[in-house]
Amino acid sequence: MHETILILDFGSQYTQLIARRIRELNIYSEIHPWNKAPEPGSHVKGVILSGSPFSVRDEKSPNPDLAAYLGKLPLLGICFGAQLLAHRNGGIVSPSTIREYGRANLEHIADHHLLKGMTPGSQVWMSHADTIKELPDSFKVICSTEDVEVAGYAVEEQSAFGIQFHPEVYHTTEGTELLRNFVVDICGCAQDWTPKAFIEETVASLQEKIGDEQVVLGLSGGVDSSVAAMLLHQAIGERLHCIFVDNGLLRKNEFEEVLSSYEDMGLNVTGVAASDRFYTALKDLSDPEAKRKAIGGTFIEVFDEEAHRIQNVTWLGQGTIYPDVIESVSATGGPSATIKSHHNVGGLPDYMKLQIVEPLRLLFKDEVRRVGRALGIKPEILERHPFPGPGLGIRILGHITPEKVRMLQEVDHIWISGLKKRGLYNEVWQAGAILLPVQSVGVMGDERTYEQAVALRAVTSTDGMTADWCHLPYDFLGKVSNEIINKVKGINRVVYDISSKPPATIEWE
């Protein structure tokens, strides 16, 4: 197993960012719920304790057993993690008299290897309602802000450290230096977890796991399934059988264009036109979860029929990525609140007697793209925006008809093509159009119209967990709006969604 930094999650909104920052240093990291932490093997080089919405003073706050780590491996506590170590060793943690949320500056930085390269006045990001008032005797302060004396401490004999601020967020301007000091200098990690190394290790692992058996994989045209397919193709060649289903909810011309792209990649792909079956399953459904389940259930039926046409298939390949896995398990080890159903997580119906293989299960989206580039996959596939598994089925609010799909495909085509022509597509993390269950009065020529409204959505993000709306040029938005209204029959109003995530989600359903 690769050198690993374990991250124990106490429910912080920033936990995924810790893992991402470590991985950006070419060091593998894994997130585990605090109460399901694994025993550290020889591959584990250090441990990080995350922040938390809890207070260490709460009776029901997380209370991990750290005996397997403390004093045996380098350990870094961040925010709640720092308070937890101090509190459990006899320190005093109290409600803050001045709560620190947002930017602060380190006024004092000791000459300490954890803080190497950090400068006095360095900006950090705080997010805490408690403060460490007194440290245990063996704990030494190593940095402070104007309002918080214990912004960081060290317990040298245990190689344990605590920091009150969040080095993982971008607003901590020298946070990467601190994390590098911990994982490279203190933990001794070699920084050799690269896309090339991941490909070599994954291909070898797939060959060992699958042996001479057959794998079937459902392609979507997106980044995740495409990269998963190429990894499996490198491992087992023609024994990978890919199925691309046209559910009638794809983008305009997508079925034909994506099939052509996959053939150029040398993949063994079967295209299945099944839009009528999906429209039948969706008839009269308007509830978002009901639509998702109808689309997912029909896909499984179609996919299962096609898979049975292939002899001796024993494995199902999936493009599950790490955020899918993390979102499906909470920091307390139980199921997370269901915002929406993940189509890749949760197993298969009993009648599909297949084992699952997930080559990308350990990767974040940006890492998937880096691996794809190393595999030589074309930019037009790797740079594609994320597209929901249920497709346009959840971008048509209310019940679905072929005519509504046609309208939204035309709108979406103008929107996405416009972003590409203007050179804005790669500045946007995800874009789409939503057909609203709203009709509005309009005027075209000398005639009154009463037609559909459509919303345009474009967001910036790094991993989809949080997102902000894109501040696109007004003249561009105006041009796209005019083109949609003039060219798409049935649409007479265009609005632009300026909601962030949270509180909104990226998709409307």
**Rounded to an integer, what distance in angstroms lies between the CA atom of residue 248 and that of residue 392?**
9
453's tokens:
């409204």
483's tokens:
């083109």
Count CB neighbours of 210 within 10 A. 20
28 strand-pairing partners: 4
**Rounded to an integer, what distance in angstroms lies between the CA atom of residue 23 and that of residue 4?**
10
Pairing outcome for strands 447-460 and 491-496:
parallel
The question of whether 79 is a catalytic residue gets the answer: yes
* Catalytically annotated residue among 166, 233, 241, 343: 166
The question of whether 187 is a catalytic residue gets the answer: no
CA 42 → CA 45, 46, 159, distances in Å? 8, 10, 17
If DSSP codes are grouped into helix, strand and coil, which group holds residue 87? Answer: helix
Structure letter (DSSP) for residue 284:
T
If DSSP codes are grouped into helix, strand and coil, which group holds residue 7? Answer: strand
349's tokens:
């119906």
CA 347 → CA 317, 318, 343, distances in Å? 12, 11, 9
Distance, CA of 366 to chain centre: 9
Dihedral angle over CA of 455, 458, 461, 462, nearest 10: 120
The question of whether 168 is a catalytic residue gets the answer: yes
- Residue type for position 442: G
114 strand-pairing partners: none
If DSSP codes are grouped into helix, strand and coil, which group holds residue 134? Answer: strand
231 close to 207: Cβ distance less than 8 angstroms: no
Pairing outcome for strands 44-49 and 4-9:
parallel
| Angle CA 90–96–100, to nearest 5 | 120
| Angle CA 147–152–158, to nearest 5 | 155
* Catalytically annotated residue among 3, 100, 168, 410: 168
250's tokens:
């794809």
429's tokens:
């993390």
Residue with tokens 């004092």, as numbered in its chain: 108
Catalytic residue positions, numbered: 79, 166, 168
